[in-house]
Chain A
Amino acid sequence: MKYDVVVVGAGIAGPIVARNVAKAGFSVLLIDKKPAIGTPKQCAEGISMTVFKKYDIPYDRRYINREIYGAKLYSPSGYELELRYKEASGVILERKVFDKMLAYYAAKAGADVLARTEAVDVIKKGGRVAGIKAKHEDEPVEIYADVIVAADGVESKIARKAGINTYAPPHEFDSSYEYEMLIEGFDPDLIHLWFGNEVAPRGYVWVFPKDEDRANVGIGINSDNPQTAKYYLDKWLKENNIPAKKLLEINVGVVPVGGFVKELAKDNVVVVGDAARQVNPMHGGGMAEAMEAGTIASKWIVKALEEENISLLQNYTKEWWETDGKRLEKVLKVRKVTEKLTDEDLDLFIQVLGSADAEKIASGNYGGVIKALLKHPKVILSPRRIKLLRELL
Chain B
Amino acid sequence: MPEKIRVVVNEDRCYLCGGCAGVCPTLAINVSASRWEFFQEKCISCRICISACPVGALSGEPLGVGE
Which of A34, A157, A167, A252 is in CB contact (< 8 Å) with B54?
A252
Among A167, A230, A251, A252, residue most surrounded by chain B Cβ atoms (within 10 Å):
A252
Residues from chain B with Cβ under 8 Å of A177 in the complex: 54-55
Whether the Cβ atoms of A252 and B17 lie closer than 8 Å is yes
Residues from chain B with Cβ under 8 Å of A25 in the complex: none
Report if A97 contacts B (CB, 8 A).
no
Residues from chain A with Cβ under 8 Å of B48 in the complex: 170, 223-224
Residues from chain B with Cβ under 8 Å of A229 in the complex: 54-55
Which of A35, A153, A161, A223 is in CB contact (< 8 Å) with B52?
A223
Whether the Cβ atoms of B56 and A250 lie closer than 8 Å is no
Also in contact, A173 and B52, with CB within 8 A (given A167-B25, A250-B15, A252-B15): yes
Whether the Cβ atoms of A254 and B52 lie closer than 8 Å is yes
Residues from chain B with Cβ under 8 Å of A176 in the complex: 54
Closest partner residue, chain A, to B30 (CB atom):
A157
Whether the Cβ atoms of B56 and A170 lie closer than 8 Å is no
- Per-position binary interface string of chain A over residues 173-200, scored 1 when its CB falls under 8 Å from any chain B CB and 0 otherwise: 1011100000000000000000000000
Q: How far is the CB of A163 from chain B (nearest CB, A)?
A: 12
Q: How far is the CB of B49 from chain A (nearest CB, A)?
A: 9
Whether the Cβ atoms of A153 and B22 lie closer than 8 Å is yes
What is the total number of residues of chain A having a CB less than 8 Å from a CB of chain B? 35
Closest partner residue, chain A, to B51 (CB atom):
A224
Interface residues on B, range: 20 to 34
Whether the Cβ atoms of A116 and B33 lie closer than 8 Å is yes
Whether the Cβ atoms of A253 and B55 lie closer than 8 Å is no
Report if A42 contacts B (CB, 8 A).
yes
Report if A40 contacts B (CB, 8 A).
yes
- Cα distance A229–B52 in the bound complex, in angstroms: 9
Report if A118 contacts B (CB, 8 A).
yes
Whether the Cβ atoms of A252 and B19 lie closer than 8 Å is yes
Which of B19, B27, B30 is in CB contact (< 8 Å) with A175?
B19
Residues from chain A with Cβ under 8 Å of B22 in the complex: 153-156, 173, 254, 256
Report if B53 contacts A (CB, 8 A).
yes
- Cα distance A253–B52 in the bound complex, in angstroms: 9
Residues from chain B with Cβ under 8 Å of A253 in the complex: 17-19, 54
- Cα distance A261–B17 in the bound complex, in angstroms: 21
Also in contact, A175 and B52, with CB within 8 A (given A157-B27, A157-B30, A250-B15): yes
Residues from chain B with Cβ under 8 Å of A27 in the complex: none
- Per-position binary interface string of chain B over residues 32-65, scored 1 when its CB falls under 8 Å from any chain A CB and 0 otherwise: 1100000000000000100111111000000000
Which of B31, B51, B53 is in CB contact (< 8 Å) with A155?
B31
A-B contacts, 8 of them at CB < 8 A, read A40-B15, A154-B19, A156-B22, A157-B27, A231-B56, A253-B19, A254-B17, A256-B22
